[in-house]
Structure 1
Amino acid sequence: MHIAATPTDAQVEADIRRWLERAVIGLNLCPFAKAVYAKEQVRIVISDASTASALLEQLGEELVLLRDTPATQTDTTLLVHPQVLGDFLDYNDFLDTADALVEALQLEGVLQVASFHPDYQFAGTAPDDAENLTNRAPYPCLHLLREDSVARAVAAYPEPDSIIERNIKTMQALGAEGFAALLNK
């Protein structure tokens, strides 16, 4: 029996950067990501949390830090948490808690939390459906976004409603094996 070694923070960050560069930006899954990534305005935080409560505390700290940091310095934050919420259903349940924290911090309409997970599954889909690949990342990840940045990006993008449909077609063409190969080159 082979037990996988726990990845180092440096390996987790390298895997997340590879996913960002090859999938999110490389496949143009998020047409808004390239500019902020190129300007080094994406903060990547590797959490050492091993419980949901510790992660929630760190999420609160990161939300406040993002709120208090100029967008020109940090426009968005990826809070990667490889040691907690590896089970997608637990992770999905945690998202309600994350949204409640945004509300408790009075950040509704200011910041939002998007979700990425290695086993991501949209409601009403089968686990192997290609559209789930659009939200699959190497590790569980909470993506903290500024509402005004999202609004500006969407307003400047021609036909933003076409992004989801295009992403699904991209993932259907690539398939799970192609997606895995893309991240493991």
Structure 2
Amino acid sequence: MTDGSFDAAQVEAQVRRWLERAVIGLNLCPFAKAVVARGQVRIEVSDASTPRALLEQLGEELALLRDTPAEAIDTTLLVHPQVLEDFLDYNDFLDDADALVETMGLDGVLQVASFHPDYRFADTADDDPANLTNRAPYPILHLLREDSVDRAVAAYPEPDAIIERNIATVRTLGFDGWRALLDAGDADDGSGRRDTV
């Protein structure tokens, strides 16, 4: 959606549903459940409509994460529904994001991970379910603390096996299973309430 009209609350609800049903529900990130349970995940829905505006907001979010104790915010999801909808443009923007981290002197302190509705790993076909491990309802820049990542990886047995296990999980699920997982509960249950998790 690039016409300036979107419902930020609805976007956030869809991202939370993806986070809870896919990322945590399928255990794609074994470290996510704890920070979500402790309320340490910031979800910021951006109204940026240009890459320049998004880069400025990314700088603000990096500074906020840098200046905030991990106990309050351990990680940030910067969701940007109106810009970089094309995956190749998004992928190119990641170089700018990494350059900004370095310019701000945060290399080795913070990092930016990537999620996109059309995410595609190098050397995979677009219809390979393996890509689902990094697909999200909207383009997202995921800001992570390096020390939190290091602690989580050190505490996890065989962290290198996570990627292989995730690919096996989503390939077993397939695209239809993935859609069903995220769409479950969308139908009105007769109470006038919709399940948005």
Question: What TM-score results when the alignment is normalised by the length of structure 1?
Answer: 0.97
Q: Could you tell me how far apart the structure 1 residues matched to 2:51 and 2:6 are?
A: 19
Secondary structure of 1:145's aligned partner: strand
Q: Could you tell me how far apart the structure 1 residues matched to 2:164 and 2:183 are?
A: 25
**Two-structure CA RMSD over aligned residues (Å):** 1.2
Residue ranges of structure 1 left out of the alignment (5+ in a row): none
Instruction: Kindly indicate whether the alpha-carbon contact (under 8 Å) linking 2:4 and 2:49 is maintained by their aligned counterparts in 1.
Output: no
Q: Calculate percent identity across the aligned residue pairs.
A: 76
Q: Which amino acid aligns with 1:85?
A: L
User: Which residue of structure 1 lines up, in the alignment, with residue 123 of structure 2?
Assistant: 124
Q: How does 1:72-91 map to 2 (within 5 A)?
A: 72-91=71-90
User: Which residue of structure 2 lines up, in the alignment, with residue 138 of structure 1?
Assistant: 137
Q: Could you tell me how far apart the structure 2 residues matched to 1:24 and 1:52 are?
A: 27
Q: Which amino acid aligns with 1:119?
A: D
Aligned residues, how many? 182
Q: Which deviations, in whole Å up to 9, do the C-alpha atoms of 1:10-44 show, x marking residues without a partner?
A: 11000000000000000000000000000000000
In the TM superposition, residue 180 of structure 1 has moved relative to its aligned partner by 1.0
In the TM superposition, residue 7 of structure 1 has moved relative to its aligned partner by 3.6
Secondary structure of 1:31's aligned partner: coil
Question: What TM-score results when the alignment is normalised by the length of structure 2?
Answer: 0.91
In the TM superposition, residue 177 of structure 1 has moved relative to its aligned partner by 1.0
Moved >4 Å (runs of 4+): none
Instruction: Kindly indicate whether the alpha-carbon contact (under 8 Å) linking 2:44 and 2:77 is maintained by their aligned counterparts in 1.
Output: yes
Q: Which amino acid aligns with 2:114?
A: S
Q: Which deviations, in whole Å up to 9, do the C-alpha atoms of 1:47-74 show, x marking residues without a partner?
A: 0000000000000000000000000000
Please tell me whether residue 32 in structure 1 is matched to residue 31 in structure 2: yes
User: Which residue of structure 1 lines up, in the alignment, with residue 21 of structure 2?
Assistant: 22
User: Which residue of structure 2 lines up, in the alignment, with residue 109 of structure 1?
Assistant: 108
Q: Could you tell me how far apart the structure 2 residues matched to 1:9 and 1:180 are?
A: 22
Q: Could you tell me how far apart the structure 2 residues matched to 1:125 and 1:96 are?
A: 21
Secondary structure of 1:176's aligned partner: helix
Q: Could you tell me how far apart the structure 2 residues matched to 1:130 and 1:6 are?
A: 31
Q: Which deviations, in whole Å up to 9, do the C-alpha atoms of 1:63-93 show, x marking residues without a partner?
A: 0000000000000000000000000000000
